[in-house]
Amino acid sequence: MPANELHQLTIHEAHKLLKQRKISSTELTKSVLKRVAEIEGKVHACVTIVEDIALKEAKKVDNYIKTAHEITPLTGIPTLIKDVICTKGIRTTCSSKILENFVPLYDATVIEKLKAQKAVIVGKTNMDEFAMGSSTEHSAFFPTHNPWDLSRVPGGSSGGSAAAVAADETIYALGSDTGGSVRQPAALCSVVGLKPTYGRVSRFGLVAFASSLDQIGPITKDVTDCALVMNAIAGYDSSDSTSVPYPVPDYTRQLIPDIKGLRIGIPREYFVEGMQNQVRAALEAAIDKLRELGAEIDWEVSLPHTKYALAVYYVLAPSEASANLARYDGVKYGFSERDASNVIETTERTRQFGFGLEVKRRIMLGTYALSAGYYNAYYLKAQKVRTLIKQEFDQAFEKYDALVTPTSPIVPFKLGEKLEDPMQMYLSDICTLPINIAGIPAISIPAGFADNLPIGMQIMGKPFSEEILLRIAFAYEQATNWHKRKPPLL
């Protein structure tokens, strides 16, 4: 492959060439940086690019490879990181004015794990401010555009990461998922996105939005790459009190194109009113393909409490955000509004001018739900319904190995189309929210197109069943060519 096309490689393809010393990490990194320079003006996927740091690291990796007997799958591979994950010496903005110039003094655990594998960090990706949004239009800096149609959104909140992977601005990326923020943009950009089981991947160094819902996950060009990144970032971390000391398997061992006998349920509640006909048709065709591959399909599955998931999420997530974002007071770090007469006014004005409209909307929602007189009516009730939703999933997974649904009921919508209607924006995540509420894993994979706009299929499983999800996703991917299609971006 010519040096100027190396950015098109997957992790496993690039690893093979690096191992054979047919290419260098420097060449690979330069190709990625050149691609960023060429199309970033159209896509706007990145907040920060650290070219000098990346090339310096790539050169160090090349010297290491010369003497190493063996290299890991991520050694020398360029990556982009969602700008909600702390990176030592590289600014971490959360796409917010309030953290615009914040440079962490430490790495998140997932970054430490990537660096241990000698990955090359190229920069940080754009997102909805503090991960609150479904379109990456709520960034304080600029909206990100979908590489498949620059007039449309890439999804959110990890829209920058998904768009960058789809546009070959990186070999892979990390995102975070609180209510669908890895899977929904992966679906809308026709790439692979995995939300691991809650507690499977350390949240230490992830800037908190809703602590009981947040998870870091990979966004990749294919399922094999997804398994390789999970091998690197999964595992127990004593720095994260919610991390689970559960053995980490080699996820690549389940990448076999055989799903004969696996029981897959199709919950009817996820084929919602308002779902676009072409999305429904694509999902039905994808499910038929799973049946052809030997899976046992059952369309008679019901998860009746799913209809309450949206309401539960928009009580719990804003409530946790209200508490987590209280730390931004203009005193310790970040943006501070100095045109004030006392400390209280400084804090008020810092939040007034530092936070965007969507963040302020959710803080107010959460503060209201937690306030005296309303706690029992909203927050406590939402927690009880959350338990019912989780119990329904537990019961379903006693019978089925996995459940399959659309990732998004619609294809990418136009930039600006839903900005004035928050409720319509929230409905974009109707198929992904319940997974975070229950704490289970789910993966989104490319499953077709409608008028050249991507459609994603979501596969979910019981806690710590990522291996089964990857196996089903891999089998489907090998039997189709959706993941091989590239956006028409020059």
What pLDDT is attached to residue 266?
98
Residue 82 among the catalytic residues = yes
Residues 6+ apart with CB under 8 A from 43: 144, 145, 147, 150, 163, 164, 167, 169, 489
What pLDDT is attached to residue 103?
97
Interior CA angle at 458 toward 288 and 300, to 5°? 55
Domain CATH for 54: 3.90.1300.10
Q: How confident is the model at residue 339 (pLDDT cuts 50, 70, 90)?
A: confident
Residue 225: closest CA among 442, 30, 474, 32: 474
> Percentage of residues in the chain with pLDDT exceeding 70?
100
What pLDDT is attached to residue 33?
98
For residue 211, give its domain range: 1-490
What pLDDT is attached to residue 422?
79
pLDDT digits (tens, 9 = 90+) for 422-471: 778 877 889 999 999 999 999 999 999 999 999 999 999 999 999 999 99
Q: Which is the catalytic residue, given 24, 30, 82, 202? A: 82
Residue 243: closest CA among 207, 209, 214, 219: 214
Residue 95 among the catalytic residues = no
pLDDT digits (tens, 9 = 90+) for 125-136: 999 999 999 999
pLDDT digits (tens, 9 = 90+) for 177-219: 999 999 999 999 999 999 999 999 999 999 999 999 999 999 9
pLDDT digits (tens, 9 = 90+) for 341-355: 888 888 888 899 999
Residue 260 among the catalytic residues = no
Q: Which is the catalytic residue, given 157, 176, 319, 408? A: 157
Tally the domains of the chain. Answer: 1
DSSP E strands: which ranges in 399-450?
A: 402-406, 442-450
Q: Which is the catalytic residue, given 25, 176, 181, 465? A: 181
Q: In whole angstroms, what is the distance from residue 256 CA to residue 244 CA? A: 27
Q: What is the pTM of this model?
A: 0.97
- In the predicted model, is pLDDT for residue 2 greater than 80? no
- In the predicted model, is pLDDT for residue 76 greater than 70? yes
CB 440 within 8 A of CB 462: yes
What pLDDT is attached to residue 490?
60
Q: What is the DSSP string of 307-345?
A: GGHHHHHHHHHHHHHHHHGGG-SSSSSS------SSHHH
